[in-house]
Structure 1
Amino acid sequence: MEALLSWLAETALAEWVRLSRWGYAAINALHVLGIALLIGSIVALDLRLLGWRKQLPPHELGRLLQPVAVGGLLLAMTTGGGLFLADPSGYAAMPLFLFKLTLIVLGIANALLLNLGPGLAGATPRRLRLAGSLSLLLWPAVLIAGRFLAFVDG
């Protein structure tokens, strides 16, 4: 694993991220944009799944918000990979970083279990509340863990 992390740190892209005056800042700004798109759309949908604004059918709101969330997730993951290149060995050694990755996997799994299973239109109200509750716990926790990475050592 250390050989892979060392190789990643030596790539041209990793050097650009570390040494470019604006590279890291640009990637970080796009990462924040991806997070905003993800969290903003997910929180709105999750609140509906918990029972708010019952006049809006969950599957119709999902058709509007889920593509935004997926786009935000893909942008955040892509740019997060770029940020990781700034210090692959350092990030890989941080328990908080590994915890953040675990939360991301759980958040994605929660969404997939709902959408590949009954879907928003076919799920019971209880299943929708469960998925919404888990999502409202997981995605903000990802956000908090990611933000704390800048302030903890190890």
Structure 2
Amino acid sequence: MLTDVLGDLQNLSFVMELRRSRWAYPLVNAGHILGIALLFGAIVPLDLRLLGLWRSVPIGTLSRVLLPVALSGLLIAIAMGGLLFAVRAEKYAAMAFFQIKALVILAALTNVMLLHIAAEWRASQADTDVAPPLRFRVAGLMSIGLWTCAIVFGRMIAYAE
């Protein structure tokens, strides 16, 4: 059943045009990379602050500036990545690298959600420059590691059989 759905997805007319186009697929790929750059470029400075760097910059101030950029990058990466996936949905869905990448992204998003529902997170938005609690340091380290793994496994998809 899943194979049928994936086959139908990759045989949609706009997906077939994307696959055949000389320009559309590379532009979608570039859009995916742009989304990743916005996401990773915004999230790493915030994660480093959660690890304890730049204590003179309050976590609340940094998060209000960087989180919208990271969210925009995530949405662009997901939209463009979905189009890239659709081109060879059956093949990609069967790849271990793709499956691991999806699980790593799910873990990274879970890490973000757990951090943002924490009482300490709400308290950190008060623009104080206190040292981050252990929960923040763990979340920051996990975030950097998980998003880095997502990028690495995503690149490995291009080289897998």
For 1:1-154, list aligned pairs within 5 A: 1-118=2-119, 120-122=121-123, 125-153=133-161
Higher alpha-carbon deviation: 11-20 or 97-106: 11-20
| Inter-partner Cα distance in structure 2 for 1:152 and 1:4 | 23
* Contact residue 17 and residue 85 of structure 1 kept, 8 A: no
- Describe the SS at the equivalent of 1:61: helix
The Cα of 1:117 is off from its aligned counterpart by 2.4
Structure 1 unaligned regions, length at least 5: none
Structure 2 unaligned regions, length at least 5: 125-131
Runs (4+) of structure 1 moved beyond 3 Å? none
What is the CA RMSD across the aligned residues, in angstroms? 1.2
The percent of aligned pairs where both chains have the same amino acid is 41
* Contact residue 34 and residue 73 of structure 1 kept, 8 A: yes
The Cα of 1:60 is off from its aligned counterpart by 1.1
Higher alpha-carbon deviation: 8-17 or 137-146: 8-17
Classify 1:119/1:66 alpha carbon distance in 2 versus 1 (closer, same or farther; 3 Å). farther
TM-score where L is the length of structure 1: 0.95
* Contact residue 48 and residue 58 of structure 1 kept, 8 A: yes
Q: How many residues align?
A: 153
